[in-house]
Copies of this chain bind each other. A is one copy, B any other.
């Protein structure tokens, strides 16, 4: 197993990325091989300063960096020697088994969609977010922004991909799938959810429990919440802001601490053939460590192949 990590992505790169690597290597009993992509001089200096054991590490030099604010498609095309472009090249050519970056989100999405093939039969890949529930459990919501407009069939596929993901990664057996909606009864909703409901109801690959409303999002009404990427994105960013508000207001409450998305690492792109994980720009060591752990788990459990099997069957 070989996990590729962009060392130049995020506001605190490369130092926090190197710290994350250190924590990963010291905490995991059977860590995978790591391929660190970035400015070799800087990366090696930090590795040396922090006395990171390097026998399982390869450093690949990247002389360019794609900035947070660059145009994704243009930057990926013009900066072939950037850490993100090299990462996708290594992933596509099977030199690494997963690629992680906390850099330019748009470039990561473009790379995932165009360098790495979608799983056969997937209409559109998707990105998800974990949802901290009031009762201590964790759920998944998808899509959270990759697909601002969706067709009913896409929501139906998100349900399958989300189910496989929470089974394999969150360890939830027979996950309950719900459709986010404006009312509980069948027949409620906008044109999209009205059309998606019957597809979800008849889908034998998921355990569909019906509609849920906004008030249920933070409760334990479902393990997988399916919605188009517009509403999902608004919810995710609102949830992120709750953590910031709780910090500014000195809430210091266990539940609101769980809205610190650094706890969960990053967001995998689901529906592409290989694990691609996108981190938040403000990622610190903890987030980098958790993203590498997530990548390892996705490779070990062969999540992508399991999604393919469920979508094809």
Interface residues in chain A, defined as those with a beta carbon under 8 Å from any beta carbon in chain B: 134, 145, 148-149, 180, 182, 189-191, 193, 213-219, 228-231, 233-242, 244-245, 248-249, 251, 253, 255
Contacts and interface: CB of A to CB of B under 8 A. Distances in A.
A242 B246 CA distance: 12
6 contacts: A149-B191, A217-B238, A218-B241, A218-B242, A218-B245, A249-B255
Q: Which of A214, A217, A219 has the most CB of B within 10 A?
A: A214
Given A190-B149, A191-B149, A215 B231 contact: no
A17 B249 CA distance: 35
B214 A234 contact: yes
Given A134-B245, A249-B255, A213 B237 contact: yes
Contact of A189 (B148, B219, B231, B236): B148
B233 A214 contact: yes
B230 A190 contact: yes
List 6 A-B pairs, minimum CB-CB distance, nearest first.
A214-B237, A148-B190, A214-B234, A214-B238, A215-B237, A215-B241
A255 B241 CA distance: 14
Contacts of A234: 180, 182, 213-214, 217, 231, 234-235
Contacts of A240: 214-215
B218 A238 contact: yes
B134 A249 contact: yes
A233 B134 contact: no
Nearest to A254: B249
